[in-house]
Amino acid sequence: MDGLVCISGDVLRGFAPAGARAMLGPGSTYRAAGELTRFYLKAGASTVVFEYVFENPTQIAYFKSALNLTIRCEVITLWASLETLEARDARRDRSARQGVRVAQGYLTMRPHLPSLGRTIDTDGVTANEVAARIHRFLQELPPLTRF
């Protein structure tokens, strides 16, 4: 897709040194991603995807406040059962495994699901099927007009 930029939150977070959170405050990765997204949109990108975990509405607010644009911002939450998430984690390379963080994140997110944008169920479906569901959702949105 022409004009598409993808930002990985994990990669972005890796740019910060170990003690950055103490200096930058909570939500620094979300705020940095909002600033970077704003930059790419102003530079001419038609779509920017920020791929990261938003566990609660506060994290979305950090991102949107740094985005600081009056454009539509869609949040899509990919959701699966805890059993599925733990099985996926077990298949990762040992160094990439999240371990107990999987259950912690799941339990933190579950009560916030209604406020985490559009939820797309990923249990028992392939990555291609998930992509198709995301594509269908985006196709249902009204088009944006650029001035």
Instruction: Tell me which H or E stretch contains 78.
Output: strand 76-79
24: pLDDT confidence band, cut at 50, 70 and 90?
Answer: confident
Structural domain including 53 reads 1-73
Report the share of the chain in percent with pLDDT over 90: 69
Residues 138, 94 within the same domain: yes
pLDDT at 141: 84
Residues 6+ apart with CB under 8 A from 115: 56, 57, 60
φ, ψ (nearest 5 deg) of residue 39: -55, -50
Residues 23, 63 within the same domain: yes
Q: End of a domain among 39, 58, 73? A: 73
Residues 36, 17 within the same domain: yes
Q: End of a domain among 42, 73, 104? A: 73
| Residue-wise pLDDT tens digits, 84-125 | 999 999 999 999 899 999 999 999 999 999 999 999 999 999
